[in-house]
Amino acid sequence: MSQAKITKGRSKSPGAETVGESSNQEVSRSPTERPRLRDAERTSKAILSAATKEFAEQGYGGARVDAIAERAKINKRMLYHYFGGKDALYVAVLEGSYVAIRSAEARLDLTHRSPTEGMRELVVFTWKYFLDHPEFLGILSTENMHKARFLKRSARIFELHSPLVAEISGLLDRGAAAGDFRPGCDPVKIYMSIAALGSFFLTNRWTLSTIFRRNLSEKSEIDSWGEHIVEVIFAYLRP
């Protein structure tokens, strides 16, 4: 159920919507529908969206059910009505977050580009997605602090990621064949490197800004790091 909401109606900009808010907005935009007062779907989405932010910002333990209810502008009781409890809500948020990024990624269509262009597209997309969805990184951080105890329960999470690995694999093979990339690269390692460079900068910029006395939240620093990631990855792939 939560899935539907996340993946539907996204046209060009791949990583633009905040998790759990996109379709909701479409509904409210639709001119024929009046904003219903008793709208189960809307309420449920508002909860998921608010929960995503709260969990991302506060972590699982730090997140407050009351705060989620307040952010979602709903009665706390509804949260239990729709999701059953804090745990189940968190799992919904977690799965929804992965579905959202993988869905956006899937729309990149890397197969029809040159290996170099495809790889650049993937790197840039990932960086932009991380940048536009701070909640996603927050959720990952939280989940890893708990050693993925909730994610492990999810059966379909591996299947969700197979296409990504396949696609990167394809890029690397084609790139190696064309002499653009050096052969023998592990697609998972490549993806992890891209993610590492992007994720670390964004999640750790607060302490990094402090210890290096350098405001890494400035646009120039952010843009510069985005280019840096591309350079690092391509330096590594260079034959």
Partner DNA sequence: CATGAATGAGTATTCATTCAT
Partner DNA sequence: TATGAATGAATACTCATTCAT
Q: How near is the Cβ of 68 to a copy of itself at its closest, in Å?
A: 14
DSSP character at residue 18: P
Instruction: Using CB under 7 A, list all residues that contact DNA.
Output: 36-40, 42-43, 63-66, 74-78, 80-81, 85-87
Q: From the list DNA, a copy of itself, none, pick the one residue 4 interacts with, judged by a Cβ distance below 5 to 8 Å according to partner type.
A: none
46 vs 198, which CB is nearer to a copy of itself? 198
What's the CA angle centered on 101, arms 183 and 12, to 5 degrees? 95
Instruction: Using CB under 8 A, list all residues that contact a copy of itself.
Output: 57-62, 98, 138, 140-148, 151-152, 154, 157-158, 160-161, 165, 188-189, 192-193, 195-197, 199-201, 203-214, 225, 228, 231-232, 235-236, 238
Q: From the list DNA, a copy of itself, none, pick the one residue 43 interacts with, judged by a Cβ distance below 5 to 8 Å according to partner type.
A: DNA
Q: How near is the Cβ of 46 to a copy of itself at its closest, in Å?
A: 23
Q: How near is the Cβ of 237 to DNA at its closest, in Å?
A: 45
Q: How near is the Cβ of 198 to a copy of itself at its closest, in Å?
A: 8
Q: From the list DNA, a copy of itself, none, pick the one residue 142 interacts with, judged by a Cβ distance below 5 to 8 Å according to partner type.
A: a copy of itself
d(CA 45, CA 187): 35
d(CA 66, CA 69): 5
Q: How near is the Cβ of 37 to DNA at its closest, in Å?
A: 4
Judge contact between 233 and 119, C-beta under 8 A. yes
Question: Between the CA atoms of 202, 205, 206 and 209, what dihedral angle is there, to the nearest 10 degrees?
Answer: -160
Judge contact between 21 and 53, C-beta under 8 A. no
Residue 158: Cβ-neighbour burial (10 angstroms; 0-12, 13-18, 19+): exposed
